[in-house]
């Protein structure tokens, strides 16, 4: 039996991104998301171009990092699944600091872009994480997301097992 792992991943992620954006001198960021990642970044006081169902703009497809950079060259791309490895490593450290030691069990992780499960895998290399999805925007699978293959390779079981009722549309859950 697996345990559904719930923690404020997007809030923790936003803290790391905020520090990077301010230290690097960006004037803000652009974030394609279901709305949760954008809201967490706004909650940190950042200027955010929110491309989401409830944001300033709405996308009809997954945009690749190069396309986002071409349109918003002066903003940091904070889209889930587009972060550089060094930021994901910092997020992994922050996840471990927040969660502490994990028990020897299988953890189901609500997964959209694959970024959270990769960070968890880096933070806990010996732990069994299993990506799961449901029908909410936060955990919808986007085949064009650049990290999906990496997330699938690092997961300990089949990718995108569907679990009903993840409730991934709540900000604190994904």
pLDDT in tens, 28-68: 999 999 899 999 999 999 999 999 999 999 998 889 999 99
- pLDDT at res. 166: 52
Q: What is the pLDDT of residues 127-160, one digit of tens each?
A: 998 888 766 655 556 666 666 666 666 665 544 4
> Could you state, in order of their start, the residue ranges of all structural domains in the chain?
3-7+84-162, 11-77
- Measured CA to CA in angstroms, residue 110 lies from 7, 153, 154, 172 at distances of 10, 16, 15, 12
Closest by CA to 37, choosing from 124, 139, 151, is 139
**CB-CB contact of 160 with 111 (8 Å):** yes
pLDDT in tens, 99-136: 999 999 999 988 888 899 999 999 999 899 888 876 66
d(Cα 23, Cα 140) in Å, to the nearest integer? 32
Q: Which of 129, 107, 126 is nearest to 118 (CA)?
A: 129
Q: What is the pTM assigned to this prediction? A: 0.84
- The full length of the chain comes to 174
């Amino acid at each position: 039996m697996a345990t559904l792992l719930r923690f404020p991943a997007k809030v923790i992620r936003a803290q790391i991104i905020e520090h990077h954006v301010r230290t690097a001198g960006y004037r803000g960021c652009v974030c394609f998301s279901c709305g949760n990642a954008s809201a967490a970044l706004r909650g940190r006081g950042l200027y955010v171009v929110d491309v989401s169902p409830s944001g300033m703009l709405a996308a009809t497809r997954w945009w690749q990092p190069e396309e986002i950079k071409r349109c918003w060259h002066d903003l940091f791309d904070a889209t889930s699944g587009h972060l550089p490895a060094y930021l994901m490593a910092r997020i992994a450290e922050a996840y471990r600091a927040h969660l502490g030691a994990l028990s020897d069990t299988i953890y189901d992780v609500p997964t959209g872009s694959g970024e959270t499960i990769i960070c968890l895998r880096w933070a806990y290399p010996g732990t069994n994480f299993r990506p799961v999805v449901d029908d909410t925007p936060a955990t919808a699978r986007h085949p064009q997301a650049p990290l999906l293959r990496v997330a699938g390779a690092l997961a300990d079981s089949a990718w995108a097992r569907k679990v009903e009722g993840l409730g991934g549309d709540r900000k604190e859950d994904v």
